[in-house]
Structure 1
Amino acid sequence: MGILSGLKGLFAGGESAPEKAEEAVEYKGFSIVPAPMKDNGQFRVAAVITKGEGDDIKTHQFIRSDLMPGREQCIEITLRKAKLTIDQMGESIFR
């Protein structure tokens, strides 16, 4: 499956589907919840990044094209990439 068809599946309810949610990891005031997505026997790097509380909560859906063979490996890579994104973009991630 090509990257474009895989991404299309993410938004069209195709083959990729989120797995059960993991516990949140706090990082520099942000909350990262890894959400690996099954995709053709592998797991896609994905998470929800939030900051704030109540009416002031901001949310970013973090989905990458990376596929990992194992769920635990995917969670590890997801956290590393999400933290790097936060380091590079800060709050502009919510725009």
Structure 2
Amino acid sequence: MSFWKKIFGGGDEDSSESAAASGPHEEYKGFTIRASLLPAGSEYQLSGSIEKEVGGTVKRHDFVRADRFSSKDEARSFTLAKGRQIIDEQGEAVFSQSWPAKPN
């Protein structure tokens, strides 16, 4: 990548960074949890998604929390743990929530 593209953006991402940005995934109780990197200054914010095929359609729930970590590995590890917690607490109901909640 050229010097100017590195400074001003554009062009293809570095393939190693692109692979890292997609993050690891984990199968848990029939769900797929994916960790993603969300840079927040010099730290990384907890960010990921939960997916599952329901009725022939892949459903997805994205989540972001305020927790921040100094390393990518720590952010990924805690994101996968948070995904497991969400699945344990909500199961498939996580896909039926609509935000913001509608007033009665």
Q: TM-score, normalised by structure 2?
A: 0.68
What amino acid is the match of 2:63?
Answer: F
CA RMSD of aligned residues (A): 1.7
2:38 aligned partner? 37
Distance in 1 (CA, whole Å) between partners of 2:74 and 2:55 is: 32
Unaligned runs of 5+ in 1: 1-18
Aligned residue pairs, count: 77
Unaligned runs of 5+ in 2: 1-19, 97-104
1:74 aligned partner? 75
3-state SS of paired residue (2:86)? helix
1:24 aligned partner? 25
1:46 aligned partner? 47
For the pair shown, the structure with the greater C-alpha radius of gyration is 2
Distance in 2 (CA, whole Å) between partners of 1:76 and 1:83 is: 11
Deviation at 1:69, TM superposition (A): 0.8
